[in-house]
Amino acid sequence: MFELPCTLPREKDLQISLFDYDLVLPDQKIGATSIDLENRVLSRFRASCGLPQSYCISGPCQWRDQLLPTQLLENFAKMKNLALPEFSADGGKATFMGRAFLLAQFESKVPAHGHLGPPRERLALHLLRTCGLVPEHLETRTLHHSIQPGIDQGKLQMWVDIFPESFGPPGPAFDITPRKPKRYELRCIVWNTRDVDLQDTSITGQRMSDIYVKGWLDGLEEERQRTDVHYRSLGGEGNFNWRFIFPFEFLPMEQVCVLPRKEYLWSLDETVLKVPPKLILQVWDNDKFSADDFLAQLPVPPLPNEEQQRDVEYFVQGAGFSCAMAKPGLKISNCLGQMSSAFPTSLRQQSHLDGNVGREQRQGPWGRAREPGQHYSYQQETFGLAKFHP
């Protein structure tokens, strides 16, 4: 965020340039955009500072304008030669432009976060938003370069607030600090498989498969894990009792996994990749003298709606994930997932995984594979059925 003093109309043009940073050579200009600040200040739509959706006196969306909503509404009425608005004693009713307005018309349900201001100011803000004034928004501006003036050099997303010094100091600046991801750990236990396709033929002519299971989080393929091999399965059944453990970083507000990594060995900074949380499980047939045969895959989908997202931060029982079955008869059963809250627990359809949900900070270390780990003494472990794609 940049805070710059200026004098209008002498310094009316705000020039914003985007550069490519170079460690040794001079930085190269990518493009620039220009904003006429005088136009915004003199606009009859009040483009100097956008109107937010709600009037908050605290919290991340605190009111940052110099004037209160009631003062802005009175100034608007004077500019348009309208009668000044009249408010009731409790601030829940107002008369403006010959019409009566109730606060309940604009706020059917009051949020429970406790940051809202008094009803009088909230109602004045709602009335301002009905007058065609500029709302709070993120503007997208096109970048241009003087060498190629007619060619788009990219887009820049930003917003500009203009505060006249004669009105006093403005409110607190909007906090644009990036959210910090939380550390989670996903624990998935592969108990056994059944009805797996038999790919090989034994010496006696019987159909068989050497079964094992792979698992990883989408975007972290290099950290994939696999069970041991159940050799010579004649009926498609394999017994494992094998625990996968996947640590990862998760943003609950955005419902994405954060994957910081360096693209090259010589990269100075990490590149942050955000992907939806998705667990991928695959069943393979082990071969000694040739490449292993792929049998089936189960992609666990990300969070679908707000109801499942509310399960974040809590321990709950019965973590279910639906998936389609493309080939009948190919299944994996009794997959107990000791899963993190990034993977919700209320999806219940024909196929599912059952297990416990927990934050890594609230639990001690768990062992991988067949190493010993903690046990939920207060909760009975349940088992479910997960169907795989071939």
How many CB atoms lie under 10 A from the CB of residue 127? 22
CA 367 to chain centre: 29
- What domains can you pick out in the chain, each with its CATH number? 13-167 (no CATH), 182-387 (2.60.40.150)
Our separate counts of H helices and E strands in the chain read 5, 19
Question: In terms of Cα–Cα distance, which of 378, 308, 373, 323 is closest to 353?
Answer: 323
Beta bridge partners of 298: 281
pLDDT tens across the length of the chain (390 residues): 889 999 988 999 999 999 998 888 899 999 999 999 999 999 999 999 999 999 999 888 899 999 999 999 999 999 999 999 999 999 999 999 989 999 999 988 888 888 999 999 999 999 999 999 999 999 999 999 999 888 999 999 999 999 999 888 888 888 888 888 988 888 888 888 888 888 777 777 788 888 889 988 888 888 889 898 888 888 888 888 888 888 888 888 888 889 888 877 777 788 888 888 888 888 888 888 888 888 888 766 544 444 444 433 322 222 222 222 222 233 333 333 333 333 332 222 222 333 334 444 444 556 777 776 654 433 334 444 555 555
Q: How far apart are CA 145 and CA 17, in angstroms?
A: 9
Give, in degrees to the nearest 5, the angle at Cα 104 between 102 and 110: 145
Handedness of CA 136, 80, 41, 64 (dihedral sign): negative
What's the rounded Cα separation, in Å, for the pair 108 and 94? 17
